[in-house]
A and B are shown apart, each in its own frame.
Chain A
Amino acid sequence: MTDALLLVSTCTPKSLGDWANLLAVIRDFLSLSLFSLGGGNTLLSEYHHLSVSEYCWISSDQFADLYALAEAAPGPSSMLVGLLGMGAAWREGPGWALLSAVVAEIAILLPSTLLMVIAALSWNRFRDSPWRIAFERGLGPITLGILFAVGLKILHTADHGVPAYLVSIVVCLLTLRTKISPLWFMAIAGLLGGFGLINR
């Protein structure tokens, strides 16, 4: 908690009511879109960097909250960006927050969507191309390394203290070994938190 407060005090949140900032946000998410390898989770530490360290929209604890909410909510992954966009403009009021959420989500999806349209329409032409094969084989291991780094980053962001790390490691093992729905893990961990067994 003290760490988060110190961090916040060292950087001033930038207002999205300012057009220059809004454009900067759009530009940042647009340029990240095509680096969303392996289904999008590779971008999590970049999201943290932008929203916590660079623009100071939210604290590190809030980032962990939003990540958990986006994971728990139904629907495709990657809607975390909508929540970050909302956090970015929350102090300007709910109207701005919603607008900013929608703009951020569109920005992160637009480039990858356009590329996907091109891919869908021309797949037969490059399915056997050496570029396609090298891309698929080469980017796989890099994605693997990024996912480990991102997992560790989220772990350090979310967990404070031994009980928290213990729960995370148990959940990680159960996720790998069983087919239990992640919602159960979140519900049980939430209860543990509610009873004051996990603090931050």
Chain B
Amino acid sequence: MIEPQGSVAAMASPEAEALAPPPDHRQLFFGMMQVALSAFGGGLSAWSQRIIVEERRWMDNTSFLTGLTVARLFPGPNQINMAVYIGARFQGLSGALAALAGMLLVPFSLLMLVGLAYFSFRSLPLVDRLLAGVVTAAAGLALSMGFKILHQYQRDPVALLLALATFVAMAVFHIRLIPVVLVAGPLAMAWYWPRGAAGPGVDR
């Protein structure tokens, strides 16, 4: 079975409730727009679970958590991947694009307004002073990203060594991301290749 990780708790539904008929493109678009709008204060994954599983009943909780696992595994922003997953499951590529458009339309338009305002007013001294403060908080958030997942690896010295080598390559030797991933990725995959019960790193 797939083990979900992270903030969305597994909520086993006591009685198997009937699922709604598969959503069409229009419903996918507006459903994901509802998710995006509900999550304006944050907590996108939780909102998406509430709306997709509980309100609209497009999929049961198990399928939703599978989707979340796939969305986190594959490249791309997690919430956007989740929208793509949901759209693709019901209506293929075009459904994925409908869901993606629904999720992005309002937040992206707002961000464009923010961007236009920024580039128009950034030279005002007050705006510059405010932003000089805001960026320090944003940098604190960026710094916390690595620490947030560090605990997953603290019992695996090889993982920590790989992480350290990657960090040194980028931060000290300024090697670009793509060569780092193309070299370190296959090496790490070879090390963690499943070799049955006795292999390294099997139960992490």
Asked if residues A200 and B132 are in contact (CB atoms below 8 Å), the reply is yes
| Contacting residue for A69 out of B88, B118, B193, CB 8 A | B118
Minimal beta-carbon separation of B150 from chain A (angstroms): 7
Q: Which of B61-101 contact A (CB under 8 A)?
A: 66-67, 70-81, 84-85, 88-89, 92-93, 96-97, 100
The residue of chain B having its C-beta at the shortest distance from the C-beta of A118 within the complex is B88
CA distance A132 to B73 in the complex (A): 9
CA distance A33 to B74 in the complex (A): 11
Asked if residues A159 and B163 are in contact (CB atoms below 8 Å), the reply is no
CA distance A113 to B144 in the complex (A): 27
CA distance A188 to B150 in the complex (A): 28
CA distance A200 to B160 in the complex (A): 35
CA distance A87 to B72 in the complex (A): 29
Question: Given known contacts A116-B81, A134-B189, A147-B149, is B112 in contact with A75 (CB within 8 Å)?
Answer: no
| Contacting residue for A146 out of B72, B112, B166, CB 8 A | B166
Q: Which of B87-122 contact A (CB under 8 A)?
A: 88-89, 92-93, 96-97, 100, 103-104, 106-108, 110-112, 114-116, 118-119, 122
The main secondary structure of chain A at its interface with chain B is helix
| Contacting residue for A74 out of B107, B167, B170, CB 8 A | B107
Q: Which of A58-84 contact B (CB under 8 A)?
A: 61-62, 64-79, 82-83
Minimal beta-carbon separation of B154 from chain A (angstroms): 11
Q: How many of chain B's residues have a CB under 8 angstroms from any CB in A?
A: 99
Q: B164 an interface residue at 8 Å Cβ cutoff?
A: yes
* A103 neighbours in B (Cβ, 8 Å): none
Asked if residues B188 and A139 are in contact (CB atoms below 8 Å), the reply is yes
Minimal beta-carbon separation of B107 from chain A (angstroms): 2
* B167 neighbours in A (Cβ, 8 Å): 145-146, 148-149
CA distance A52 to B42 in the complex (A): 30
Asked if residues B131 and A68 are in contact (CB atoms below 8 Å), the reply is yes
* B84 neighbours in A (Cβ, 8 Å): 113, 116-117, 120
Minimal beta-carbon separation of B144 from chain A (angstroms): 4
Contact flags B171-204 to A (C-beta < 8 A → 1, else 0): 1000011101100110111111110000001001
Q: B21 an interface residue at 8 Å Cβ cutoff?
A: no
* A170 neighbours in B (Cβ, 8 Å): 140
Minimal beta-carbon separation of A108 from chain B (angstroms): 9
Minimal beta-carbon separation of A152 from chain B (angstroms): 5
Asked if residues A109 and B118 are in contact (CB atoms below 8 Å), the reply is no
Interface centre among B96, B97, B103, B135 (most CB of A within 10 A): B135
| Contacting residue for B130 out of A35, A150, A194, CB 8 A | A194
Asked if residues A138 and B137 are in contact (CB atoms below 8 Å), the reply is no
CA distance A174 to B92 in the complex (A): 42
CA distance A148 to B153 in the complex (A): 14
Asked if residues B42 and A171 are in contact (CB atoms below 8 Å), the reply is no
Asked if residues A142 and B185 are in contact (CB atoms below 8 Å), the reply is yes
Q: A90 an interface residue at 8 Å Cβ cutoff?
A: yes
Additional 12 contacts, C-beta under 8 A, given A39-B72, A116-B85: A32-B177, A74-B41, A87-B119, A115-B76, A134-B192, A147-B146, A148-B171, A164-B139, A167-B136, A167-B140, A171-B144, A175-B140
Q: List 28 A-B contacts (CB under 8 A).
A: A64-B138, A76-B79, A78-B80, A86-B112, A112-B75, A112-B76, A113-B84, A116-B85, A130-B194, A133-B192, A138-B189, A141-B162, A142-B188, A143-B149, A144-B166, A146-B177, A150-B145, A154-B139, A159-B139, A171-B136, A181-B42, A185-B141, A186-B134, A190-B133, A193-B131, A194-B129, A194-B130, A200-B132
